[in-house]
Amino acid sequence: MAAAVSAATAARPGARPELVLGSASPRRLELLAQIGIIPDRILPTEIDETPHRGESPRDYVRRIAREKAEALLGCTDGAILCADTEVVVGRRILGKPADAAEARRFLELLSGRRHRVLTAVALAHQGRLRERLVETAIRFRPLSPAQIDRYLVSEEWRGKAGGYAIQGRASAFATWMQGSYSAVVGLPLAETATMLAAVGIRERME
């Protein structure tokens, strides 16, 4: 039924295409809502996110966002929006920590130094794939063992790239940022809004 509805929608010239968000992240859903975009469907994807040998962090995040979108091809006649966000120190990708011990190691590595957050966005629509990569630089102040302990107890590190959430308690760690704050949270809003507008998806006025 959903395919029939989306096909009918696509057949109307100038009609807004269906938007499928390929992410289980509540943060990305909240960010889209901030700019008045409500996905028609949410279809999280399961792909192998193992980095390839010799793959640069920039190439990695682009590939993961693209493969997430490609995994959903055929589920709609509309648009598929996917993204990937990674915390990077040098060429090392700090993914989602497996446990508190790994989260501690990540925070100790980030303490008192600068790192990058890379967010890639992929938008598939009518046989075309639009892609954007946004890089944000952040510097953390030195973190004491006690500060790291308190952060770990908060459980905020769970499911977060690099072991922290900039929109939460870790906002007190960042002394400097250059780039897109929303990209660090999970979706660069200015770039995403431009990509969506290009396929006819804009803020809903109702």
**Structural domain that includes position 82:** 17-198
- Asked whether residue 8 is assigned to any structural domain, the reply reads no
Which tops the pLDDT comparison, 33 or 204?
A: 33
Number of structural domains in the chain: 1
Rounded to a whole number of angstroms, the distance between the first and last alpha carbons of the chain is 25
Confidence of residue 6 (pLDDT cuts 50, 70, 90): very low
- Model confidence pLDDT, tens digit, residues 137-185: 999 999 999 999 999 999 999 999 999 999 999 999 999 999 999 999 9
CATH of the domain at 165: 3.90.950.10
pTM attached to this predicted model: 0.89
pLDDT for 130: 98
Q: What is the mean pLDDT of residues 13-20?
A: 84
Residue 42, SS3 per DSSP: strand
- Asked whether residue 119 is assigned to any structural domain, the reply reads yes
- Asked whether residue 12 is assigned to any structural domain, the reply reads no
- Asked whether residue 151 is assigned to any structural domain, the reply reads yes
- Asked whether residue 10 is assigned to any structural domain, the reply reads no
Known catalytic residues are 84
